[in-house]
Amino acid sequence: MCKFSIFFVAFCTLLRVQIIEANKICITTAPTDAPTQALSAYWVQVTGSPEEIPEGALVGGYINDYPSYGDNDKNYNVCRGFRGGALTPGKYGAFYVTAYDACTIGWGGEEFHTYEFEILVGSGNWVSSSGSNIPPNAVPGGESEDGEVLYVCRVNHSGSVIVGKFHPSYSNCFITYHGYESSFYNFEVLTYL
């Protein structure tokens, strides 16, 4: 059995949160009868330029109703950023470059774009879930303003697969779509391999 902790250092200046040290996922493994594996994903700080997206950035979904720009594809990478005192998982797509250059996250029913964020690098499995069910080895994606761990989730919506935050106490995966945050009872949660 693994226990996960997320550590980050941040400071606020004029209502702007700036990450000053990349988040680290720390692992403590208790003895088990089954073989254990090293965790397969970690967070890397970026500022939104497609050239800065690290090699091996985890693709969490795609969009079918947004025009593609240049040679960029329509895949979403898993990202996370701050909003309203919460560190929230979301989506980053290189095809958004001309418009946003940002991690798109949901908070309070709306869609927000944060320009200082982290990208998840590595690999994982997507496991079906619903309600408040947290699958074993779920990837912690952040923390709510109340201190609850938020997980990385995704849903099929309008022909797209969209990444968002799984908020267990609300029993839903929250995604953003066309400027709004929507919730879904049935979804997938990202787990470590």
pLDDT digits (tens, 9 = 90+) for 112-129: 988 889 999 999 999 999
Q: What is the share, in percent, of the chain residues with pLDDT greater than 90?
A: 53
**6 to each of 23, 87, 111, 174, how far by Cα in Å?**
7, 10, 24, 21
Residue with tokens 């969009």: 63
**What are the residues whose beta carbons fall under 8 Å from the beta carbon of 27, sequence distance 6 or more?**
2, 3, 4, 39
Read off the pTM.
Answer: 0.76
Q: Is residue 66 very low, low, confident or very high in pLDDT (cuts 50, 70, 90)?
A: low
Evaluate if residue 8 carries a pLDDT over 50: no
Average pLDDT value for the chain: 77
DSSP β-ladder status, 110-114 and 41-46? unpaired
Q: Is residue 96 very low, low, confident or very high in pLDDT (cuts 50, 70, 90)?
A: low
Give the per-residue pLDDT at 117. 93
What average pLDDT does range 34-44 have in this prediction?
Answer: 66
Distance CA 173, CA 84 (A): 18
Structural domain boundaries of the chain? 2-30+40-191
Evaluate if residue 165 carries a pLDDT over 80: yes
**Angle of CA points 157, 163, 168, to nearest 5°:** 100
What average pLDDT does range 33-62 have in this prediction?
Answer: 76
**What are the residues whose beta carbons fall under 8 Å from the beta carbon of 47, sequence distance 6 or more?**
115, 116
Distance CA 77, CA 27 (A): 24
The residue among 93, 95, 96 whose CA lies nearest residue 79 is: 93
